[in-house]
C-alpha cells in the first residue's frame, strides 16, 4: 500500500500494528525517528530496495488506560509536519467518512444516487453535488467564524434543512439587497442554534459473546457411536431368468 501511494506521487500517514518492528536509523528532534520498510516480502528477504519512512510513536490515555499508537509517514520535514500535528490529524481521519455520508445520504437522499445515463451528464451531476455541499459547508464555516467556534460542532443535517427552507425566501428577495442581508443574518443565527451537544463518555468493550449449549463438547470417544440403523422390514426378490 505504501509503495502504491509513493508510485502515484501521494503522501501517506497510517497506523501500523504492534508486531511490526522498525530499525531506528536516526532520532529526530520532535521525538519521531527515521526508519525504512521494504515494498514487499521478497525485497525484504533479498535486502535490496528500501523505502525511507518516519515513525511517530505516542501514548493516548483512554478511560484511564494508556494505549500506544504508532504511525508511519513519508513526510520528513519536522518543522512543517511536526509529530504532534500529524498525530492530531490522524485522529481526524474519519471526517472524510462523514463527508461521504453528507453527500450520499443527506444531501442526495434518494435510492438512485445518479440519475444520468451518459458520462457527460454524470460528471455534471456529481459536480453539482459538490458545489451544493461546498455552499452548505461554507455557510456553516462563516457562521462558526462569527461565533468563534469550530465548524465541526454544527449540525450538517440541521443546516441543510434550514437552507432548504431559506431558498424560496432568497429567490423572492434576490433583487432587494437590504432584505437579502436580513435573510443572511437570519440564516446565520438559525445555523448557530444547531450546535451539536458534546459527546457522552460511552465506550464499547471489545468482547466476544460466546454461545452456550447444554450439551458437552464433542470428543474423539464420541465418534462412530451413533444410533444403529433400523433393519429393513421387506425383502428384495430377484426375478428368475
pLDDT averaged over 10-residue windows placed end to end, the chain, 241 residues = 86 89 90 87 66 91 81 93 91 82 82 82 90 92 91 90 84 70 84 82 69 73 61 45 46
At residue 46's C-alpha, the angle toward residues 41 and 51, to 5°, is 65
Contact 72/52 with Cβ under 8 angstroms? no
pLDDT for 211 equals 67
Q: Taking each helix axis from N to C terminus, what angle separates 177-192 and 119-147, rounded to the nearest 10 degrees?
A: 80
pTM of the model: 0.58
Q: How far is residue 75's CA from residue 8's CA, in Å, rounded to a whole number? A: 15
pLDDT for 82 equals 93
Amino acid at each position: 500500500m505504501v509503495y502504491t501511494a509513493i508510485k502515484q506521487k501521494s503522501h501517506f500517514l497510517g497506523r501500523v500494528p504492534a508486531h511490526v518492528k522498525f530499525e531506528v536509523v536516526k532520532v529526530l528532534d520532535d521525538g519521531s525517528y527515521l526508519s525504512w520498510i521494504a515494498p514487499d516480502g521478497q525485497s525484504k528477504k533479498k535486502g535490496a530496495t528500501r523505502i525511507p519512512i518516519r515513525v511517530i510513536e505516542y501514548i493516548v490515555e483512554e478511560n484511564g488506560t494508556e494505549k500506544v499508537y504508532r504511525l508511519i509517514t513519508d513526510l520528513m520535514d519536522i518543522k512543517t509536519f511536526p509529530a504532534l500535528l500529524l498525530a492530531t490529524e490522524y485522529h481526524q481521519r474519519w471526517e472524510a467518512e462523514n463527508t461521504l455520508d453528507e453527500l450520499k445520504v443527506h444531501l442526495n437522499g434518494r435510492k438512485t444516487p445518479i440519475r444520468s445515463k451518459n458520462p457527460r451528464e454524470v460528471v455534471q451531476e456529481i459536480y453539482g453535488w459538490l458545489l451544493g455541499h461546498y455552499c452548505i459547508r461554507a455557510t456553516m464555516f462563516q457562521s462558526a467564524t462569527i461565533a468563534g467556534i469550530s465548524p465541526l460542532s454544527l449540525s450538517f443535517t440541521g443546516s441543510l434543512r434550514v437552507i432548504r427552507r431559506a431558498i424560496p425566501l432568497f429567490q423572492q428577495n434576490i433583487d432587494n439587497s437590504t432584505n437579502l442581508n436580513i435573510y443572511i443574518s437570519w440564516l446565520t443565527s438559525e445555523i448557530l442554534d444547531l450546535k451539536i451537544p458534546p459527546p457522552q463518555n460511552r465506550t464499547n468493550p471489545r468482547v466476544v459473546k460466546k454461545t452456550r449449549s447444554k450439551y458437552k463438547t464433542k470428543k474423539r470417544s464420541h465418534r462412530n457411536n451413533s444410533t444403529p440403523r433400523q433393519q429393513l422390514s421387506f425383502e428384495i426378490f430377484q426375478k428368475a431368468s
